[in-house]
Structure 1
Amino acid sequence: MSQVVDEGHDPLRAQHQYTHLYTDLLRTVRELGLLRRRRGYYFTRIGLVLASFVAVWVGVGLLGDSWFQLLMAGALALVLTQVAFLSHDSAHRQVFDSASWNDWTARLLAGGLVGMSAAWWRSKHSRHHGAPNQLDKDPDIGAGVIAFTPEHAAQRQGLRAWLTRRQGWLFFPLLTLEGLSLYVASLQHLFRRGASSVERIEAAIVVTRLGAYLAVLLLLLPIGKASAFLGLQLAVFGVCLGGSFAPNHKGMPLVPKTMKLDFLRRQVLMSRNIRGGLLTDFALGGLNYQIEHHLFPSMPRPTLRKVQPIVREYCELHGVKYTEVSLLTSYRIVVDYLNNVGLRARDPFDCPLAAELRSAGGRNLA
């Protein structure tokens, strides 16, 4: 179970030996050419996803007034999940050398196809990458429907407290609402006071896409079937997208808001990789290589598999704990962690990160 780091231990001396670790690793990766763009891969993948998107809507048109449309709703959700992964890659500037080309590709994929704001997601996701699992800094463990820290759980009363004590078991049912939650947060960001001119353009793209989506559904289907189509599509989309992000950090060590960590350990010790083959890579959009992605955010997705053995060996050589489990094991860890947070059954000194710091400190003192 993940725990908050022991702040009583002074990590400065222990950090000294890690000062140049990331620089050395980055130099090796660059020399091997593993940061080069893979435009052929991305052009092919974007083309296939666009073709799938069009095929789904052709299928919707051909089926007409039928409950078999629910199959198309599920298919659309799966396609939109892959579009979201591509927008994620482009926002991380993995596709093109040009920052502008990457940014606009991310906007068009997210806004024009998914109907979501890339600007909102990038702002939130950049803060997560800068401080994964750090209290009051990582928005992914902030207060919300689910309590990710004992402090958030302790503030809840009544029905919310009862639900929080069982939130691990409720996690996957709640993911069916994640799609709707993402759309609401995206629109709130775009229509907030002080939005930039680019965000206003993005808002127009998003509103046009959402409006056209609803109009097509209501034109082709009775309101009952249209509502069922929309509800199922949002539910499947939420489960697929939320289920791909959940295994990566939940249940890993939490970092106090004032603690300073070097880049290598900040990214490796708070991240978890998921074992699997090409099917796992596809289903999770390459996020199963979470450690490598956090160390090299602009590395093209297909290269993450190649760099993994280098990173794992490097971490083992320098005594940095590298975590990799199966997908089912990761979900079990997430459920157990969330239930334990809800019950506040945590020992603040039983912490993998604190142990790492103490061990490093002992080696330095020796």
Structure 2
Amino acid sequence: MMMQIGEKQAGNGSLVGKNQPPVGEKHQANDKPEANGKAEVSPKQEADGKGDTPRKSLNLYSWQEIQRHNQEADQWLVINRKVYDVTSWADRHPGGHRVLHHYAGEDATDVFRAMHLELDIARLYLKPLLIGELAPGEPSQERNKNAQLVEDFRELRRTLEAMNMFSASLGFFSLHLIQILILEVLAWLMLWHFGNGWPITICISFLLTISQAQSSFLQHDTGHLSIFKKSKWNHLMHRFVMCHLKGLSVKWWNHRHFQHHIKPNIYPKDPDIDVGPLFLVGDLQPLKYGKKKIKYIDYEKQHLYFYMGHCLGQQFLHPIFHRIWSFLRNLRNNIAHIFGQVLATCNVEQSFFNDWFTGHLNFQIEHHLFPTMPRHNYQKVAPLVRSLCAKHGLQYVNKPILKAFGDIVRSLKKSAALWMDAYYET
């Protein structure tokens, strides 16, 4: 699950707890904190990111220095201009060690805000990892990022928080769970009453397929959101949906899916688009497989066997809408978290059927920008996201559902052609 370590959260942004370690801690070789005698920052100041610690009490770093610490054995990252050494913490990170490694040497401010439901709790774990801050002359993000776009996005998030767009509706998700249970019970009642003739088998398979797809959406929600006021109930619901309705490991899903949301559509960091050896997608993966003469399966026909093999083999609907539509456009290998989702993602037009059929994941752009937002609010925030894109000249793609299905085939055919050219070239 996400970093839902505590159940209480102060409403005014203050940290929970009184005996936090000082901000200026150093780490010995044995990973035990060692006080360095430097000034401490109060919990309220640290929570707001506005501590009054004198600059001389912290080491100052340039981006050039920070970007050198991007190896598994040496991982630094930046959050709100503060520099953290997360090397020793990586293996204990609830979201998995790869999540931190994917942002080693980079600014992780926005993804940290996007992925943690209880920021005050998460900041407690950051404090002993603090080693310094960006030098005064350094920009807050890497120089290849659009600073104005970053600031506008953060303002948009603050606006949405003020609009209460990150609060889940218990009624919405309760009805969703009831729908799933009705489908499951109906399928087994049909089997018990009518037997296992092939027409009934087809009907039962269809009902269970829809149930599994809807379970995927609910499992996704319970993994990302605080649907229940007490997080322990959220954990229990996630385990029930994941383990009992789907038969999968919660830990496995957490570690893979959090990687997907911190680096969506960036190969090879996003495991959701690394679907080899069954399929090759985008521009980079087909060339990699082709040049290495890798042929696990006949990729030339992957657009034909996609619907049978991929859809039925991986819960039918969820991969189509949550994975395939995510990479319909050309994948970028190194783009900023904030607008990377817009460049490499498209939406499917809103309608009652499309919303139900895709579990509201037809709003892929909003879903990737705000992964902890309840999906029943995507439609409400979409106009604001569209306005932000228009302001900065970013294309906001919104497709009819049939065109999106067609683009899946065309995208797979294009990737197959790239693989063929690389594989058969002499």
Fold agreement, TM-score > 0.5: yes
1:294 matched residue in structure 2: 368
Deviation at 1:248, TM superposition (A): 2.5
| Equivalent position amino acid for 2:215 in 1 | V
Counterpart for residue 140 of structure 1: 272
1:141 to partner: Cα distance = 2.3
Normalized per residue, the structure richer in helix is: 1
Structure 1 counterpart of 2:212, one-letter code: L
CA contact under 8 A between 1:128 and 1:138: conserved in structure 2?
Answer: yes
Match of 2:192 in 1: 61
Among 404, 408, 412, the alignment partner of 1:330 is 404
Q: Which amino acid aligns with 2:170?
A: R
- Percent of matched pairs sharing the same residue: 26
Q: Which residue matches 1:355?
A: none
1:33 aligned onto 2:164: yes
Deviation at 1:246, TM superposition (A): 4.0
Aligned to 1:113: 245
Report the RMSD for the aligned CA atoms in angstroms: 2.5
- The aligned counterpart of 1:75 is 207
For the residues of structure 1 that align with 2:332 and 2:248, how far apart are their CA atoms? 30
Q: Are the equivalent residues in 2 in contact too, given 1:153–1:341 (CA < 8 A)? A: no
The amino acid that maps onto 1:241 is: H
Pick the aligned partner of 1:277 from 341, 348, 351. Answer: 351
Alpha-carbon distance change, 158 to 266 in structure 1, aligned in 2, over 3 angstroms:
closer
Q: 1:127 maps to which residue?
A: 259
Conserved? CA contact 2:213–2:316, under 8 Å: no
Is the counterpart of residue 16 in structure 1 residue 137 in structure 2?
A: no
C-alpha change, 1:150 and 1:113, in structure 2 (3 Å) is: closer
Q: Please list the CA deviations of residues 322-348 of structure 1 after superposition, one character each: whole Å capped at 9, or x if unmatched.
A: 1111122222222222212222189xx
Q: Secondary structure at the match of 2:198?
A: coil
CA contact (8 A) 1:133 1:253 kept: no
Per-residue deviation, residues 105-140 of structure 1 (Å, max 9, x unmatched): 111012112222232222211101111121221112
C-alpha contact (below 8 Å) 2:170/2:227 kept by paired residues: yes
- State the distance in 2 between where 1:79 and 1:177 align: 13
Distance 1:52 1:176 in 2: 19
Scaled by the length of structure 2, what TM-score is found? 0.59
Q: What does 1:209-224 correspond to in 2, within 5 Å? A: none
The DSSP-based 3-state class of the residue aligned with 1:145 is coil
Corresponding letter in the other structure for 1:91: G
Q: Distance in 1 between matches of 2:196 and 2:294?
A: 45
Distance in 2 separating the partners of 1:272 and 1:117: 29
Cα 1:23–1:274, aligned 2, differ >3 Å: closer, same or farther? same
Which runs of structure 2 are paired with 1:1-366 in the superposition (5 Å)? 12-13=143-144, 15-70=146-201, 71-142=203-274, 143-148=276-281, 149-155=285-291, 157=293, 160=296, 163-179=298-314, 238-256=315-333, 259=334, 261=336, 263-344=337-418
CA distance in structure 1 between the aligned counterparts of 2:308 and 2:290, rounded to whole angstroms = 23
Name the SS of the counterpart of 1:12 in structure 2.
Answer: coil
Structure 1 residue ranges without an equivalent (≥5): 1-10, 180-237, 347-366
How big is each residue's C-alpha offset from its partner over 1:161-202, in whole Å with a ceiling of 9 and x where there is no partner? 7x21232233223224523xxxxxxxxxxxxxxxxxxxxxxx
Contact map agreement 2:153 2:388 (CA 8 A) in 1: no
Distance, in Å, in 2 between the alignment partners of 1:159 and 1:23 is 44
Residue 159 of structure 1, CA deviation:
6.3
Partner of 2:127: none
**Is the CA contact 1:52–1:79 (under 8 Å) kept in the aligned structure 2?**
yes
In the alignment, the residues of structure 1 paired with residue 290 and residue 146 of structure 2 have an alpha-carbon distance, to the nearest angstrom, of 33
Cα distance between partner residues in 1 of 2:294 and 2:144: 45
1: CA distance, partners of 2:324 / 2:277? 18
SS of 1:338's partner is: helix
Corresponding letter in the other structure for 2:305: L
Q: Offset of 1:156 from its aligned partner?
A: 6.2
Is contact 1:289-1:304 (8 Å) kept?
yes
Residues 176 and 317 (structure 1 numbering): CA distance in 2 closer, same or farther, change over 3 Å? closer
Query: Partners in 1 of 2:362 and 2:270 — Cα distance?
Result: 20
8 Å Cα contact 2:215/2:241 also seen in 1: yes
Which range is displaced more, 330-339 or 265-274?
330-339
Checking the alignment, whether the CA contact within 8 Å between 1:87 and 1:109 is kept in structure 2 is yes
| Alpha-carbon offset, residue 317 of structure 1 | 1.9
Q: Distance in 1 between matches of 2:332 and 2:226?
A: 28
Aligned residues: 275
Question: Secondary structure at the residue paired with 1:73?
Answer: helix
Query: Is the 1:39–1:96 contact (alpha carbons within 8 Å) kept by the matching residues of 2?
Result: yes
Give the distance between the partners of 2:369 and 2:311, measured in 1 at CA. 30
* Structure label with greater radius of gyration: 2
Partner in structure 2 of residue 202 of structure 1: none
Q: What does residue 227 of structure 1 align with?
A: none
Q: 3-state DSSP class of the match of 2:330?
A: coil
Give 1 or 2: higher strand fraction. 2
Preserved CA contact (<8 Å) 1:21 1:264: no
C-alpha contact 2:325 2:408 (8 A) present in aligned 1: no
Q: How far apart are the structure 2 equivalents of 1:158 and 1:255? A: 23
Q: TM-score under structure 1 normalisation?
A: 0.68
Q: Aligned with 1:19: secondary structure?
A: helix
| Alpha-carbon distance change, 295 to 98 in structure 1, aligned in 2, over 3 angstroms | farther
